[in-house]
């Protein structure tokens, strides 16, 4: 608890010093605000409003919450307690990409679990204990350059493969932010999209993820023992799939083989892969010439082709957190605020800055989420309270791994991170 008092004071000092850096959001006084305080027993305080950013900044300095959120939704009475009294005016389209919700290979290294039932431990993200099958796992999710790169790549896919070409959304209507922990979110502020109801948002989500896609509707069919495939000239998913197939088939054979054997995408057995590779040049010729769409690979019937296409779709579709986009009353992290589970800043980035943006090692000070990096080389002595800690790599320097009870001395920004994560205490 003393850690929380300490962190709250740090956050407070930050907001005091940097208050002019905390941006406004559009339609500011129509947004609902929500906070999670440092005091353990209080959940989120919602249904708050501020007339202007100045009032919000004073609140942050005075009350200094652990987390700060605002709505994607616009209301005439954002502070009304009941949704039906808020006078709903529309909601921005929000897309949340968070590696909490999908697999990344680096989790095998840095996400730890410990079974309270049988004492087994390991890495990765199992649903339940592989030893005793119980689901009472204590999990520790970590963050690294790799998973944040993957999350960033999902945002790039979203913008360049979908929002711009298929939805005609212009860059000026997009607000992109690093969440301050394990992902990014993107907000589209357009009058057109604000009108959409939840069902229409669900359709957009389905389109972006490629879930529930019907290959039959895209043209896949079997007639007199021949498979007719998709065509590139059909815009939308058909074209995306065909372009992706071409790109994959253009790679060296070993790379194609590895991909087709990859359990996450295709999971084909080696015989199937062998047959595919034997016919791949003919297949590539068929689809690049685009004259006929008869797909012929020995052993590939309709089911096998569907499995193949599903693997392709998995690579194109965006890994987004669906409920966030569908729910029209969601709150999302406020830009410029601090994330209470890391001490990192929720950082807005423009589309042109995104490609080079490195949240854990950003050189441009204006975009750097690691705000507690001490210029005076201040360090702290801590004791590890979690069962184990994976390597933490921030600003290009590695700390750990550590074991429970270990006493460590780390720079200020690492100490803030570990204390926010509640895996260490001050000594």
Dihedral of the CA atoms 411, 413, 414, 417 (nearest 10)? 160
Whole-number minimum distance, CB 368 to Zn ion, in Å? 19
Q: Does 120 bind Zn ion (CB under 5 A)?
A: yes
Whole-number minimum distance, CB 150 to Zn ion, in Å? 8
Whole-number minimum distance, CB 107 to Zn ion, in Å? 6
Closer residue to Zn ion (CB): 151 or 260: 151
Closer residue to Zn ion (CB): 5 or 118: 118
Q: Does 97 bind Zn ion (CB under 5 A)?
A: no
Smallest Cα–Cα separation from 97: which of 341, 345, 331, 321?
321
- Sole binder of Zn ion in the list 55, 131, 222, 282 (CB under 5 A): 131
Q: Does 129 bind Zn ion (CB under 5 A)?
A: yes
Q: Does 117 bind Zn ion (CB under 5 A)?
A: yes
Closer residue to Zn ion (CB): 131 or 355: 131
The residues near 260 (Cβ < 8 Å, ≥ 6 apart) are 266, 268, 272, 273, 276, 311
The residues near 312 (Cβ < 8 Å, ≥ 6 apart) are 241, 244, 245, 248
Q: Does 115 bind Zn ion (CB under 5 A)?
A: yes
Rounded Cα distance between 424 and 79, Å, is 37
Strands (E) in 315-405, as ranges, are 331-333, 347-349, 379-384, 388-389, 392-394, 397-399, 402-403
Closer residue to Zn ion (CB): 21 or 131: 131
Q: Does 424 bind Zn ion (CB under 5 A)?
A: no
- Sole binder of Zn ion in the list 106, 227, 338, 370 (CB under 5 A): 106
Q: Which helix (H) or strand (E) holds 187?
A: strand 183-188
Whole-number minimum distance, CB 404 to Zn ion, in Å? 18
Closer residue to Zn ion (CB): 134 or 407: 134
Closer residue to Zn ion (CB): 329 or 395: 395
Whole-number minimum distance, CB 118 to Zn ion, in Å? 3
Whole-number minimum distance, CB 418 to Zn ion, in Å? 17
Q: Which of residues 290-349 bind Zn ion (CB under 5 A)?
A: none
Rounded Cα distance between 299 and 59, Å, is 66
Torsions phi, psi of 194, nearest 5?
-60, -25
Contact 426, 380 (CB under 8 A): yes
What's the helix, strand, coil split of the chain in %, to 5? Answer: 35, 20, 40
The residues near 125 (Cβ < 8 Å, ≥ 6 apart) are 103, 107, 111, 113, 139
* Stretch touching Zn ion by CB under 5 A, among 132-140, 211-219, 389-397, 408-416: 132-140
* Per-residue interface string for the shown chain with Zn ion, residues 146-175, x marking contact by CB under 5 A: xx----------------------------
Rounded Cα distance between 350 and 233, Å, is 32
**Residues binding Zn ion: what is the number (CB under 5 A)?**
11
Q: Where on the chain is the footprint of Zn ion (CB under 5 A)?
A: 106, 115, 117-118, 120, 129, 131-132, 144, 146-147
């Amino acid at each position: 608890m003393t850690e929380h008092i300490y962190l709250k004071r740090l956050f407070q000092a930050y907001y005091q010093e940097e208050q002019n850096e905390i941006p406004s959001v559009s339609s500011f006084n129509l947004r609902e605000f929500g906070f999670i305080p440092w005091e353990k027993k209080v959940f989120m305080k919602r249904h708050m409003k501020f007339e202007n950013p100045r009032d919000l900044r004073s609140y942050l300095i005075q009350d200094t919450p652990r987390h700060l959120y605002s709505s994607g939704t616009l209301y005439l009475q954002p502070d009304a307690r009941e949704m039906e009294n808020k006078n709903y005016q529309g909601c921005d389209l929000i897309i949340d990409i968070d590696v909490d919700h999908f697999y990344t290979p680096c989790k095998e290294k840095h996400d730890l679990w410990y079974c309270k039932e049988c004492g087994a431990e390991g890495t990765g993200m199992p649903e339940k204990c592989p030893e005793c099958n119980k689901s009472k796992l204590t999990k520790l999710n970590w963050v690294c350059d790799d998973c944040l790169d993957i999350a960033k790549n999902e945002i790039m896919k979203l913008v360049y493969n979908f929002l711009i070409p298929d939805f005609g959304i212009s860059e000026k209507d997009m607000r992109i932010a690093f969440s301050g922990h394990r992902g990014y979110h993107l907000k589209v502020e357009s009058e057109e999209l604000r009108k959409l109801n939840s069902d229409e948002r669900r359709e957009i989500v389905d389109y972006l993820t490629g879930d529930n896609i019907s290959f039959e509707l895209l043209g896949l069919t079997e007639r007199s023992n021949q498979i007719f495939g998709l065509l590139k000239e059909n815009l939308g998913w058909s074209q995306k799939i065909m372009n992706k197939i071409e790109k994959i088939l253009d790679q060296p054979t070993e790379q194609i083989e590895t991909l087709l054997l990859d359990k996450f995408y295709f999971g084909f057995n080696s015989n199937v892969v062998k047959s595919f590779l034997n016919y791949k040049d003919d297949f590539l010729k068929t689809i690049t010439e685009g004259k006929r769409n008869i797909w012929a690979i020995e052993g590939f019937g309709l089911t096998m082709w569907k499995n193949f296409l599903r693997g392709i779709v998995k690579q194109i579709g965006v890994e987004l957190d669906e409920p966030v986009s569908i729910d029209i009353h969601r709150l999302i992290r406020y830009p410029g605020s601090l994330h209470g589970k890391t001490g990192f800043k929720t950082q807005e980035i423009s589309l042109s800055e995104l490609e080079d943006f490195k949240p854990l090692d950003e050189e441009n000070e204006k975009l750097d989420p690691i705000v507690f990096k001490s210029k005076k080389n201040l360090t702290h002595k801590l004791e590890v309270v979690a069962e184990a800690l994976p390597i933490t790599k921030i600003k290009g320097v590695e700390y750990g791994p550590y074991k429970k009870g270990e006493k460590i001395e780390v720079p200020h920004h690492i100490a803030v991170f570990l204390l926010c994560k509640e895996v260490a205490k001050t000594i």
